[in-house]
Each structure stands twice: as structure tokens, then as C-alpha cells.
Amino acid sequence: MNLFASAIAWILDPANYVGLNAIPLRIGQHLVFSLVTLVFASAIAIPLGYLIGHTGRGRGLAVTTSGGLRAIPTLGLLTLVALWVGIGVVAPYVALTVLAIPPILAGAYTGFEAIDRRTIDAARAVGMSELQIVRKVELPLGLPLLIGGLRSATLQVIATATLAAYVADLGLGRYLFSGLKTRDYAEMLGGSILVILLALALEGIFALIQRFVVPRGVSGRPGTAPKLRTGSSAAAR
């Protein structure tokens, strides 16, 4: 417990709130970096996922690619890209964008797929154009699963951003690695606690968002009875 006391003392130490290595600055870096990565990944994955979900084409390919990407170790991708582009923030941006795409893509197309086909047929029957169907039916009904995908991606990016400090002077991970170098366990432990708290806080925020984006008139979660379990648990983990 002494170790935790020293870690908390490190977190509260005023010396760690000034200069270029200040805790708030590192948290800010961590968050901005994660946000930008998620925006990049979303810009690629959401339109693509909606296209796959709406047309039903290319699903097999998307599933295989996402599955394959899961097997690739983050650290390997990170170090490889860092060797290519040099030490700095570019490598983490590239590597993490690649990693964040599969969960968002999966959230986007499974969100569309989980919708009852009869609902979409009904929308078509009342004269909606394809674009209207996407905008007014599929998009709102698929939103909870998309948010679920974004939630997985966010957790993954926050976690991997810590690792990114191995190749760049970036975010809370710096404390872990500089502590490791100087054998300062209080710094390592304090930094670790901050990352864990950040991840849990975001997890909580996403859990709330996910509850609020279910459109009015839709009872509970999307999908029909047997699919409900699959869909909702995959989204809510």
C-alpha cells in the first residue's frame, strides 16, 4: 500500500503541474491525440460501413479484414511505422487510425444490419428514396450500435496511445516510460493510475451516450428477439 501512497503523492505533487511535462498537459495531449485519431478513423470507417450495411455488399471482406487486423500486435505496427516515418507523432497517428477503423466499421454496418428488414421495406413502400431511407430510418436506428463501435475504438485508442509514448513524446504514456528509465516506480504507478482512470471515465461517458441515442419509439435495443442478445451485448460489451 506504501507504493500506492507514493503514487498518489506523485499525482498530487505540485511539481508535476508545471512545465512541459505537467499532468494536465499530458492528459490534454492524450485526449486530443485520441480524438483526432478517432475522427480520422471515423471519416474512413463510417461512410464505408454505411455503404456495406445499406447495400449488403462487401460484408464478407469487411469481416475478414477486421478479424485479421485484430491478430496484428499494436506494438509491431507502431514500431514498424515509426521506422518508416521516423520518431514523432506521425507514426502513432497512422498506426492508431488503422487500429480504430475495424471496430467503427463493424459498428456502422452491424447497426444497419440489425434493423428489421420489414421496417426498411415499409420505408421504401411509403415512397422514401434510398438516401431518405439511409438518413431517416437506418441512421437513427443503427446509431446505438455505431456508438458501441466508437466506444470500443475509443478504449482501444486510449490504451494504445499509452503505448505510443514508446515512439513519440506524447501523452500519459511518457510517465510510464520515463519512470521505467529512471526506476521511479511512483511515477510509473501514478501515470498508470491516471491512464486507467481516464479509460474508465470515457467508458462511463460512452455507456451514458449509448443509452441516450436510442430513438424514441424504439423499445430497448435494436433488433428482434434472438438477435437482441447478440447485438446489444456486442455493443454494450
Partner 1 sequence: MTWVLANLGLIWARTLDHVVLSLPPIVICFVIAVPLGWFARRYRVSRGIILTGAGLLYAVPSLPLIFVLPAVIGTSLLSPVNVIIALTLYGIALMVRVVADGLDSVDADVRQSASAMGYSTWSRFWQVELPLSGPVLLAGMRVVAVSTVSLVTVGAVIGVQSLGSLFTDGFQRGIQAEIIAGLVATVALALLFDGALVLAGRVLMPWTRRVAPPKPSVPLEVSAA
Stretch that binds partner 1, among 19-27, 136-144, 165-173, 212-220 (CB under 8 A): 165-173
Minimum gap (Å) between residue 82 Cβ and partner 1: 6
Of residues 71 through 90, those in contact with partner 1 by CB under 8 A are: 71-80, 82-84
* Gap between the Cα atoms of 39 and 42, Å rounded: 5
User: Please, which residue, 180 or 218, has the CB nearer to partner 1?
Assistant: 180
Question: H helices within the chain, ranges in order?
Answer: 2-12, 23-55, 59-71, 74-85, 90-113, 117-125, 130-132, 139-164, 173-182, 185-212, 225-236
Query: Residue 75: which residues within 8 A CB-CB, separation 6 or more?
Result: 163, 166
| Binding residues among 107-146 for partner 1 as defined by CB under 8 A | none
* C-beta closer to partner 1: residue 123 or 164: 164
Q: Could you tell me the smallest distance in angstroms from the CB atom of residue 175 to partner 1?
A: 10
Q: Mark the segment that binds partner 1 (CB under 8 A) among 20-28, 45-53, 131-139, 153-161.
A: 153-161
- Contact by Cβ (8 Å): 96, 157: yes
Closest CA to 101 of 73, 71, 70, 80: 70
Query: Minimum CB separation from partner 1 for residue 112, in Å?
Result: 16
Is residue 159 close enough to count as binding partner 1 by CB under 8 A?
yes
Residue 90 to residues 85, 94, 100, 194, 199: CA-CA distances in angstroms? 7, 6, 15, 24, 23
Is 196 near partner 1 (CB under 8 A)?
A: yes
Angle (deg, nearest 10), helices 185-212 and 2-12: 80
Note the residues at the interface with partner 1 (CB under 8 A): 3-4, 7, 66-67, 70-80, 82-84, 99, 102-103, 106, 149, 152-153, 155-156, 158-160, 162-163, 166-167, 173, 176-177, 180, 185, 188-189, 191-193, 195-196, 199-200, 203, 229-230, 233-234, 236-237
